[in-house]
Amino acid sequence: MDKKNLLFIRLLILGIVGIIIGAELKIAGNPMYYIALYTALSLKLLSIILLIGYNFKKIKAALS
C-alpha cells in the first residue's frame, strides 16, 4: 500500500470518528450536532471518491 492510499484511509477513519463525535453530541442534546455530522459525512464521501479515483486503473484491471 502506498503513501497516498494510507492518507485516504486515514481520512476515512477521521470521518468515522467524526460521526461518532456527532452522535455523542446529538445524544447529549447539543443543538449544533449537525455541523459535526455533515462535516464527517463529507470527509467520508471525499475519501471514498479519492480512493476510487486514485485506484481506478487497478479496479478496472481487476474487473476485466
Q: E strands along 1-64, which residues?
A: none
b/e per residue 37-61 (b: at least 16 CB within 10 A): bebbeebbeebeebbeeeeeeeeee
Per-residue pLDDT tens digits for 22-61 = 999 999 999 999 999 999 999 999 999 999 999 999 999 9
- What is the pLDDT at residue 63? 93
pTM of the model: 0.84
Answer yes or no: is pLDDT of 20 > 90: yes
Domain ranges of the chain: 3-63
- What is the pLDDT at residue 1? 78
